[in-house]
Structure 1
Amino acid sequence: MTNVNKLKDIPCFCVPANHPMFTEYFNKQSYPHSLSPDPRTTYPPHQTSHHHQEQLNHAVEENQLRRLGDEDQKNTATIINTAVNQICTRDRLMANGSNFRKWN
């Protein structure tokens, strides 16, 4: 890498000292990355009442859908349990498969 002070000695590379290449390089901040803001002093943007109401409506809808889903699961389990309880003992398939012929 060539030293900046030796550039004037290179005949094909005579660039004036106030050339943008030099001024931009030497005027850069010493920290290339911007510092993140302090989270203790940073506040979320102010929400309008309309936006707040939309959030509440969305939460209510989610809650209603969840309750409907829970109710559907409960009803399905009840129906299945009722159907299983109505099967007579003599009609059940035995674990060893000895009464499989009745099922054919």
Structure 2
Amino acid sequence: MSDLNIAMIPYQSGATRFEYSRYLSQDGTKWVRHGLFRAFHENGALASEGNYENGVENGLWRDFHENGQVAAEGNYLYGIEKGKWKYWDESGA
């Protein structure tokens, strides 16, 4: 694996939309997500957080409503949803 670097992808407004670590594939043709991934609502609130391992989701992932309440939580095992996922509305119920 090549050295990791941080990608920060903005909304048109300039606010951060995505922030994640990545490395360049061995053949140099594509970027591969690896490590912490975060997506943000345009208001700056965290929208999603989880980890990638060599380009696929792995481990605990959480999605959030714009008000900061958890919207969904579950696990991935190398790109496949595993176990029971939980979901909440904006009030936390």
TM-score, with structure 1 as normaliser: 0.18
Query: Between Structure 1 and Structure 2, whose CA radius of gyration is higher?
Result: 1
- Larger RCO: Structure 1 or Structure 2 (Cα < 8 Å, ≥ 6 residues apart)? 2
Structure with the higher strand share, 1 or 2: 2
Structure with the higher helix share, 1 or 2: 1
